[in-house]
Structure 1
Amino acid sequence: MAESDGQERTEQPTEQRLRQAREKGQIPRSKELGTAAVLLSAAAALLMLGDALGEALSMVFEQSFRLERAAIFDPATMMPALAEAIGGLMWPLLGMFAVVLVAALVGNSLLGGFNFSTQAMMPKFSRLSPVNGLKRMFGVQALVELLKSIAKVVFIATIAIWLLWSQFDHILRLSGETLNLAMKDALELLLWMGLALCLALLPIVAIDVPFQVWNHTRQLKMTLQEVKDEYKNTEGKPEVKSRIRRLQQEMANRRMMAEVPTADVVVVNPTHFSVALRYDKDKPGAAPVVVAKGLDEVALKIREVAREYQVPVISSPALARAVYFSTKLDREIPDGLFVAVAQILAYVFQLNAWRKGQGNKPVPLKDDLPIPDEYRV
């Protein structure tokens, strides 16, 4: 289908296009599927409740024909008789109606699912336009629906005529049977003939359902430009996205810097890396956690905050790089770095105790901490 700008609708509808169409009430629906579900459920209900319905009808006929002439003109007699007749037929009929109602709801929602759209309920003045009405009446879609209807009528009529012809002798024999037997036999015959006609709808449903899905997708197809415009509107312009990412990064950095004063030590590569670690000694089985880390300017800012709040800053280039690349923010360090970090923390705790006059001055850390080769960067 050509557009005014010369582009064709060659692209499959996107998820957003399908969602917007659903919000407007534009979903694939098959009338044939709903009709077949209702008719087949009615036939099944008759199959289950046919005996009870036949007995109720027989009772109503018998009671009606036994009424005397005087009782027919007596309201005091007729009202109880009417109530008894209605009561006898009510339960079989209510059972049938319940089955048909459920089938109608389920059958019409099998294709497209259940959908409630307020936009579809809103009045549209375009529907009142005679020109648009004529287009709908004499358009391609109307022609397709007309041909489908003619084909359905011819097909179902052919099946119905064949069924009547094949059961013609059986139908004639009903007149020679007793009332009870004739009613039961007639109901059984109607049931199986009705079931056969309902089953004849299944080939129509098998053709109509894929057609409705294909037609719905065809109507929602998009041009390449529409896909690009939708992506741009959804994802945003590159400069806007860049600014959003920058603001998000700044907010994350501010939250991270607020955690630096709670750290026990900051391990640094003097020029590029800084990693702030916190260890909860009172928590059994706890491991050191990375509360802040950064490169270059962020690393410098972490060191400045650490010195401001008197958090020890230890230079260990290999360990700083290993923790930075192996551990995410707010996560525990890997097992392979426990020994090296433990030596750092032990040195810091001894240093803090010595500064408080509670111990000897710790031995300076070795330059080569035990860092496994797989963590060295």
Structure 2
Amino acid sequence: KKALSPDFSKLNPINGIKSMFSPRSLVELAKGILKIGVVGLVAYLVVSKYVESVAQWAFISIPEIFSVIVSILMELSFKVGLALLIMAAADFGFQKYQHKKKMKMSKEEVKEESKQYEGNPIIKGAIKSKQRQLARLRMMKAVPEATVVVTNPTHIAIALKYEPASKSDAPKVVAKGKLKVAERIKQIARENGVPVIENKPLARGLYEACEVGMEIPVAFYQAVAEVLTQVYQMNKNKLPNLIQ
């Protein structure tokens, strides 16, 4: 139905007038007028040279008249052709200049469009900063639910959560941070009764190897199991069967 429906915009006379008087159309019209003018001028200059000799044609033979006409036509053709060639070369140079200008504008437009698409660097940086803040806030909210916080002890803090009854086979990193973030993790852990245990090699290793939300790699199972053993002994709970 849409394919069969008429496009009335094509019938709009205003659109036709706009296309007729577009800058490109006006330039082409000017070039056409210039060509006609140049050809007319060259023809006038060539023919005017022979006007005085026309009066003498009554006294010369037809072959001689024919010879003069051929000479006029040859000179006219040569000079008109030369004029058109010069104009064509000038037009080619102009078209090349216009093309380069258009290409330059296109590159700038692409850059601007890309900049708009990707976002202003300042705005983009602000968005990323806000995203980091929100991610950190979610991370901090997970600390009270952690099983243990492993520390460096001052520079690094890793909050681990282990749920033996869940489908997860290994403890998961629910929060991690350095310096001030690490201090905040430890503070929240202490406020919520989450054990904070110092283990420098384990803290460094987990910080480098794990992102928030990841399960710990197999290489850390034994070390983490030992830390969890300490936690369960501190809580006087029986240690579940951990992955060895």
The question of a shared fold, defined as TM-score above 0.5 by the shorter chain, is answered with: yes
Select which of 159, 164, 179 maps to 1:281: 164
Structure 2 letter corresponding to 1:244: I
1:350 aligns with 2:233: yes
Provide the secondary structure at the position in 2 that maps to 1:226.
helix
The whole-number CA distance in structure 2 between the counterparts of 1:125 and 1:312 is 80
TM-score by length of 2: 0.57
The whole-number CA distance in structure 2 between the counterparts of 1:125 and 1:336 is 75
The whole-number CA distance in structure 1 between the counterparts of 2:181 and 2:213 is 17
8 Å contact from structure 1 (residues 271, 296) kept in 2: yes
The whole-number CA distance in structure 2 between the counterparts of 1:312 and 1:124 is 77
Select which of 141, 166, 176 maps to 1:258: 141
Q: Which runs of 5+ in 2 are unaligned?
A: 26-101, 239-244
Structure 2 letter corresponding to 1:257: M
Structure 2 letter corresponding to 1:316: N
The whole-number CA distance in structure 1 between the counterparts of 2:144 and 2:191 is 9
1:338 aligns with 2:224: no
Select which of 133, 150, 154 maps to 1:271: 154
The whole-number CA distance in structure 2 between the counterparts of 1:122 and 1:245 is 48
Taking every aligned residue pair, what percent have the same amino acid on both sides?
39
The whole-number CA distance in structure 2 between the counterparts of 1:299 and 1:349 is 23
1:134 aligns with 2:20: yes
Q: CA deviation at 1:240?
A: 1.2
Further displaced range: 328-337 or 220-229 = 220-229
TM-score by length of 1: 0.38
Provide the secondary structure at the position in 2 that maps to 1:294.
strand
Q: Report how many residues are paired.
A: 159
Select which of 105, 119, 132 maps to 1:249: 132
The whole-number CA distance in structure 2 between the counterparts of 1:253 and 1:326 is 19
Cα distance change on mapping 1:287 and 1:129 into 2, 3 Å: closer
Larger radius of gyration: 2
Q: CA deviation at 1:133?
A: 4.1
Q: Which residue of 1 aligns with 2:182?
A: 299
- Larger relative contact order (Cα-Cα within 8 Å, sequence gap ≥ 6): 1
- Give the CA RMSD over aligned residues: 3.4
Q: CA deviation at 1:127?
A: 5.8
Q: CA deviation at 1:131?
A: 3.4
4+ residue segments displaced more than 6 Å: none
Query: What aligned pairs does 1:115-194 form with structure 2 within 5 A after superposition?
Result: 123=9, 128-134=14-20
Structure 1 letter corresponding to 2:180: E
The whole-number CA distance in structure 2 between the counterparts of 1:122 and 1:343 is 80
The whole-number CA distance in structure 1 between the counterparts of 2:13 and 2:196 is 75
1:310 aligns with 2:193: yes
Cα distance change on mapping 1:126 and 1:241 into 2, 3 Å: farther
Cα distance change on mapping 1:325 and 1:128 into 2, 3 Å: same
Q: CA deviation at 1:125?
A: 10
Structure 2 letter corresponding to 1:305: I
Provide the secondary structure at the position in 2 that maps to 1:271.
coil
Q: Which runs of 5+ in 1 are unaligned?
A: 1-114, 140-219, 360-377
The whole-number CA distance in structure 1 between the counterparts of 2:119 and 2:8 is 31
Q: CA deviation at 1:317?
A: 1.2
Q: How big is each residue's C-alpha offset from its partner over 1:36-88, in whole Å with a ceiling of 9 and x where there is no partner?
A: xxxxxxxxxxxxxxxxxxxxxxxxxxxxxxxxxxxxxxxxxxxxxxxxxxxxx
8 Å contact from structure 1 (residues 267, 315) kept in 2: yes
Structure 1 letter corresponding to 2:225: A
8 Å contact from structure 1 (residues 127, 133) kept in 2: no
Q: CA deviation at 1:334?
A: 0.4
Provide the secondary structure at the position in 2 that maps to 1:306.
helix
